[in-house]
Amino acid sequence: MQYKLLFSKEAKEKLKWLKTKDPKKYKKVLKTLGLMETNLSHPSLQTHKYESLSGPEGQEVFEAYVENNTPSAWRIFWYYGPDQSFITVWAIAPHP
């Protein structure tokens, strides 16, 4: 299934920041977002439920990998909605 991506205000701001401050990371994030639109089960995403967060209305939050085996590797946190054809990118951040 293909999804349309929506972005929280924070996620949009992080994308803008990355574009100017870290273009290399920005390209990696764009590649990951592209995979999320077309194939959420792609092995490189390592998509899984993120247990310690819930969305603004209690939605299950999932994590997709931008990087792996990298110090402070970046992740994309997202949830399904507002309806079946959308996923909302909630945050784009380095893994704690």
The residue that leads in pLDDT, 13 or 70, is 13
Per-chain mean pLDDT for the chain? 94
Q: Helix or strand or coil: residue 31? A: helix
**Domains in the chain, ordered, with CATH?**
4-94 (3.30.2310.20)
pTM: 0.93
How far lies 13's CA from each of 4, 18, 25, 40, 66, in Å? Answer: 19, 9, 14, 23, 17
Q: Return the beta strands (E) in the chain as ranges.
A: 4-7, 48-54, 60-65, 74-80, 86-94
Q: Cα–Cα distance between 38 and 13 in angstroms, integer?
A: 23
At 85, phi and psi to the nearest 5?
-95, 5
pLDDT digits (tens, 9 = 90+) for 22-52: 999 999 999 999 999 999 999 999 999 998 8
pLDDT at 1: 82
